[in-house]
Amino acid sequence: MAPRVQGSRHADHATNSYARAACLPDLSPGASDTKEEPKMSNTLILPAEMLDHLRSGLHIELGDVAQDISEATDGRERQAHPEWFTELFDRFAAIRALMEIAGWSTSDPDRDVEVDLDPHRDQLLAALTSQLGVEQNIKQELDREHGDETARREAARCVLKLSQFLAGLKAELAED
């Protein structure tokens, strides 16, 4: 499944999955267009089938930042370096914000979700990359142990689908 990245001044007006067409700003009657351009928004429509992967990857990222926070609190110079915590808390907040968009659990209904890439790009890529690594490890373990054929096929399908989505997303983002 290819990612659908939309760029428009009003994301709700962009309908083509790869459209980058900008919509004109809404003007009240008698108003003239100003020289100031509205800020372009880069929005990803994340398909429902990618939500569990994103959630799992975000849980991994939360664990990583929690471990980093723990290590910083154990550091001898912790009181002399508040910036250690600022960066870590910013990372934690960014992960949490994306998790709020994706939904915290699988009991949240699967639906396509709109993700603003400007504030969430780094965490989205990190989470999906982390989860791809987990899925690759599962596949390798099943292959190594000659696991159940159905489970091996499902693991291979999952790795392929996630790696293709991630590659497509990276390609789209490189165009920006």
Q: What is the pLDDT of residues 119-157, one digit of tens each?
A: 999 999 999 999 999 999 999 999 999 878 999 999 999
> Rounded to whole angstroms, how far apart are CA atoms 53 and 49?
8
Model pTM score: 0.72
Distance, in Å, from the CA atom of 58 to the CA atom of 124, rounded to the nearest integer, reads 8
pLDDT attached to residue 5: 55
Distance (Å, rounded) from C-alpha 21 to C-alpha 5?
12
Q: Are 155 and 132 in contact (CB under 8 A)?
A: no
| Residue 76, both tokens | 């001898």
CA dist., res. 17 & res. 134, Å (int): 29
pLDDT in tens, 76-101: 888 888 888 899 999 999 999 999 99
Q: How far apart are CA 42 and CA 8, in angstroms?
A: 7
